[in-house]
Amino acid sequence: MPPSIIPPSIMPPSILLFFFGLLSATGSLPPPRTTFLLPSADRPLVLFSLPDIHNTTTLLLSDDGDTLYVGARDAVLSLDVSQSDVISLKKKVEWRPSDSEIKDCENKGKDATVDCPNFVRVLQPMNSTHLYACGSYAYSPHDGFIDAESFSMVDGQQADTKAKVRCPFSPMQKSTAIIVDGELFTATTTNFRGVEPQISRHFSKDGRQDVSQDSSLLEEPRFVSSASDPSEGKLYFFFNEVGNEFSFVDKLRIARVAQVCKDDVGGQRTLQNKWTSFAKTSLLCQVPKHLPFNVLRDVFTLPPPEGSDAANTLFYGVFTSQWSSGPESSVCVFKLQDIRAVFTGTYMNFDFQNQQWSTVLGKHPYLGQCGLNSASDSELEQVKKSFMTSGKVKPVGGGPVVVSSGQQYSHVAALRTQAANGNPYTVLFLLTESGFLHKVVLLDQGVHVVEEIQVFSQPQLVKSIVLSSSKGVVYVGTSEGVTAVPVARCSGYRTCSQCVLARDPLCGWSRSAGVCTALVAQQQDMAQDLENGNVEEQCPGQTRNSLLPATEVSVHLNEVVRLQCRKPSNVAALTWTSSRSDSLPDKLFIRSADGSLSFLATHETFGTYRCEAEEGGYRETVASYEVQQIVPPQIASPRSFSPFPKAEDDHGTDEPFEEISISTEEPKTSTTKPSGEPEDSGMKDEGVPGTTDWSDASPTDLTDEIVVADKANSGLKNEIKVTPERDAWSGEEPADERLRVREKSFYSELVVVSLLLAACVCVLILAGIHVWRQRKTGLKKISLVGSEDGGKTNQSMETVPSLSSPEDTGGPEVKVE
């Protein structure tokens, strides 16, 4: 059956793109400027968790922002969040099904621990004294009121059949609920199988009847969010569903918003106890010439700026695409004004018998309107089949404000703020499926990802976020606990340049105080440039270069020197310069992915070294070293290994700047060639993470010492003595780095290693065959050992000292004193 209506804006390009497999979105999000991994001392988070509390996934913030109510597994909590640096438990109500109720749930084929607890999934303020809660309750939804003062449950254990149409049976299904003037509006599936969707009103006031709609008006919906428009007396429900206006190979999902009027009482004969105001429309979110982002995941309602009309309310929607092969998502913004306009526009007729849509002809001004309780039966008959608008809601600006082809966003929160120049900016907090919170600022010229903050480490089936604009905190609820993430940490930017380069609308450099600090409205002396990050202009007094005192590094002749340089941000590019020569040839100087520079100390390489970071056209020195020779007292034993402390311990950051493992294996003596010629090394070490080889760097004899210097710790810190052979297998440079240095590897050693490896594999295979022949139980073990060994290439490589530190993703800070 051909689709009766093909919206030209979606179908032809999507079909084309579908067949050509072109989905990649254009103009994808730039990488986050800085990254904070858990646990990060540079970006501290507050975690609330208790051993007997699980699945703290439903969050509700009190109006004053001092209390966070949490719907958990078999419990509802009230948390004190009035202090920004601590979350404490105030009260808790237990709310769990009885043993016999759990048994009943199990008898219906559900798992006692996974499905049958009471997962509290609706928590709403009922009135000034009570909260409303609804939970899955052993696949038999229960609801009740909680006295906010005493924090005790009223009615929670009663089997109220009505509760079954107020929240889902399955703890995995999403529903949405909103309370307006003491009446509860819900959108949920209403039976054990998770079908029969309904949008309905409960606890209806003034003796009026509760109303809902025929479940046939919704097609496998997944409810996402709801919002109230008090000025028009309407409620909006955001969801996605199967679009039955299309016939498609796959079930095509469509993002929707539905409306109902708050005071709708249904018709008198037709549509009794049914909405006369129910209508739905599509939300478009599409990059031109690309497949639409058709699956709505979350919606955040941003109220209009103070004094502005309610029509300026914005809805930030997170979308994914049902055709995505990888992580991909986008954010589209819809304006209440545009949604209202579509619902007051034209409608389509649905022919229930043939499941076909056609345009409504003639004028029917009552469609989508409130107050049809005394409408005629013929009008209500028309209402019954005309519940879909022919117009669609387009996003503000015509397309997504954020498109990410690397991230699967699931939740969004937004805040509006005023920058130092007085202009308003929007900051989005986007939660990824992998557990990061991305802070994204929408600039005139595009988006900028200020930072990414890891908030949980295990993938979460159910999670939620709530933004407290009064406290400046984003709360993330997961099965692990509740995490509070301050919206900004300005003091982490130590210099004016870093503060300005961050382009964080919430932070500015106070010229008078000389610190990066939270922006206070209309502050005059704040340095900030969100659009361009122009440091020269904003921080004129800041010295650019050279004034950074050089750290002295004293080394022996022919030691390998390693100079650290930490990237101030993920997007900064580092360059090393030397006083001795303009260029530092790759042959002699090895640049690691962590920014460090390694070379052999010779008469030619003593001198001053400077590491400069370039970001947004601004260069600054981040490290400076003076490498000089010490006149050696006789080297006692080149074979000794000195243990040394973790590099960062002494200044309190958590970054694994250096993690150097020390081998106790007997080192080999040097077999290096004195010549500077690169040797053919082959590519046999593909599986080994990073190679650094000093063999050709030495014009003279090579002793086996490496000096690791760390600017942050002012000077020579760690001294390792290792053989060059083992150096050849250490480090963690990325592939391109590896290729560069691999040219200089030992060919002969590799051949030997390969032969040994081949021999090992043969022996293991023979052993395996032998054991298999004997059909002993030892079979499994042997073959496991074999495969593991093969994967790691060579046992001895595992015990090699690692020169490189792990990639510096832990923090943005440079300690530039």
Ligand X SMILES: *[C@@H]1O[C@H](CO)[C@@H](O)[C@H](O)[C@H]1NC(C)=O
Q: Which residues bind ligand X (CB under 6 A)?
A: 54-55, 57, 119, 126-130, 145, 171-172, 461-462, 479
Which is nearer to ligand X, 98 or 129 (by Cβ)?
A: 129
Quote the least distance from Cβ 203 to ligand X, whole Å: 7
Q: In the beta sheet, which residues pair with residue 243?
A: none
Task: For the CB of residue 81, give the shortest distance to ligand X in the complex, in Å.
Answer: 22
Q: Minimum distance between the CB of residue 400 and ligand X, rounded to whole angstroms? A: 29
- As measured in angstroms, the least distance from the Cβ of 162 to ligand X is 13
Of the pair 59, 561, the CB lying nearest ligand X is at 59
Between CA 806 and CA 453 the distance in angstroms is: 18
268-275, long-range: CB within 8 Å, 24+ apart, which pairs? Answer: 268/373, 268/374, 269/377, 270/377, 270/380, 270/381, 270/384, 271/380, 271/383, 271/384, 273/209, 273/210, 273/211, 273/212, 274/211, 274/212, 274/213, 274/214, 275/199, 275/211, 275/212, 275/213
Closer residue to ligand X in complex, CB, 11/126:
126
Query: H helices of 593-712, where?
Result: none
The CB-of-57 to ligand X minimum distance in angstroms stands at 6
Shortest Å, Cβ 131 to ligand X: 9
Instruction: Give least dist CB 175 to ligand X, A.
Output: 13
Q: Pick from 815, 810, 817: which is nearest to 36 by CA?
A: 810
| Closest to ligand X by CB, 119 or 334 | 119
Give dist(CA 529, CA 598) in Å, integer: 36
Closest CB to ligand X among residues 35, 483: 483
Residue 481 or 690: the one with the smaller Cβ distance to ligand X is 481
Concatenated DSSP letters of 339-387: HHHHHTS-EEEEETTTTEEEEPPS--TTTT-S--TT--HHHHHHHHH--
Q: Which residues are paired to 436 by β-bridges?
A: 454
Is residue 434 within 8 Å of 459, Cβ to Cβ? yes
User: Distance (Å, rounded) from C-alpha 715 to C-alpha 558?
Assistant: 19
Least distance from C-beta 96 to ligand X, angstroms? 14
Instruction: List Cβ neighbours of 630 (8 Å cut-off, separation of 6 or more).
Output: 554, 555, 556
As given in the structure block, the two tokens for residue 335 are: 């304006």
The whole-angstrom separation of Cα 789 and Cα 143 is 57
Per the structure block, which two tokens stand in for 570?
């993920």
- Cβ of residue 479: shortest distance to ligand X, in angstroms? 3
Output the smallest distance, CB 615 to ligand X, in A.
40
Bridge partner residues of 332 (DSSP): 317
Residue 1, helix vs strand vs coil: coil
Q: Decide whether 171 or 292 has the Cβ nearer to ligand X.
A: 171
What are the backbone dihedrals phi and psi of residue 589, each rounded to the nearest 5 degrees, phi first?
Answer: -120, 125
Burial class (CB in 10 A: 0-12, 13-18, 19+), 167: buried
Least separation, in Å, of the C-beta of 102 and ligand X?
A: 15
User: Hey, which residues does 614 pair with through a beta bridge?
Assistant: 573, 619
Length of the chain: 817
Shortest separation between residue 173's beta carbon and ligand X, angstroms: 10
- Could you tell me the smallest distance in angstroms from the CB atom of residue 571 to ligand X? 36
Nearer to ligand X by C-beta: 130 or 544? 130
Q: Compare residues 149 and 306 and give the one whose CB is closer to ligand X.
A: 149
Cβ proximity to ligand X: between 426 and 460 the closer is 460
Looking at the DSSP bridge assignments, the partners of residue 557 are: none
Q: Which of 83, 55, 807, 45 is nearest to 455 (CA)?
A: 45
* Least separation in angstroms between CB 463 and ligand X: 8
Q: What angle do CA 89, 93, 96 make, to 5 degrees?
A: 130
CB-nearer residue toward ligand X: 202 or 717: 202
DSSP notation for 255-275: EEEEEEETT--B-SSTTBTB-
Contacts of range 528-531, beta carbons closer than 8 Å, 24 or more positions apart: 528/419, 528/420, 528/421, 528/499, 528/500, 529/500, 529/503, 530/419, 530/421, 530/425, 530/441, 530/443, 530/448, 530/503, 530/505, 531/443, 531/444, 531/445
Least gap, CB of 136 to ligand X (angstroms): 8
Least separation in angstroms between CB 155 and ligand X: 8
> In the complex with ligand X, which residue's Cβ is closer, 461 or 769?
461
Nearer Cβ to ligand X (418/479):
479
Shortest Å distance, C-beta 275 to ligand X: 23
Q: Which is nearer to ligand X, 18 or 151 (CB)?
A: 151
Identity of the residue, 145 or 192, whose beta carbon is nearer to ligand X in the bound complex: 145
| Nearer CB in complex with ligand X: 181/649 | 181
Do the beta carbons of residue 405 and residue 24 sit within 8 Å?
Answer: yes
Which residues 6+ apart lie within 8 Å of 150 measured at CB? none
DSSP code string of 592-622: -TTS-EEEE--TTT-EEEEEEEEETTEEEEE
- Three-state SS for 318? strand
Phi, psi for 303 (deg, rounded to 5) = -60, 155
In angstroms, what CA-CA distances link 578 with 60, 567, 583, 617, 642?
A: 57, 18, 8, 21, 30
Residue closer to ligand X, measured from CB, 77 or 555: 77
Residue 434 CB, nearest distance to ligand X (Å)?
16
* 3-state secondary structure at position 392: coil
- 3-class secondary-structure state, position 487: coil
Whether omega for the bond prior to residue 12 falls within 30 degrees of 0, making it cis, is: no
- Please identify the residue of the shown chain whose CB is closest to the bound ligand X: 479
Considering the complex, state which of residue 24 and residue 157 has its C-beta at the smaller distance from ligand X.
Answer: 157
Alpha carbon dihedral 681, 686, 688, 694, in 10-degree steps, equals 30
- Tokens 């090699």: give the residue: 800
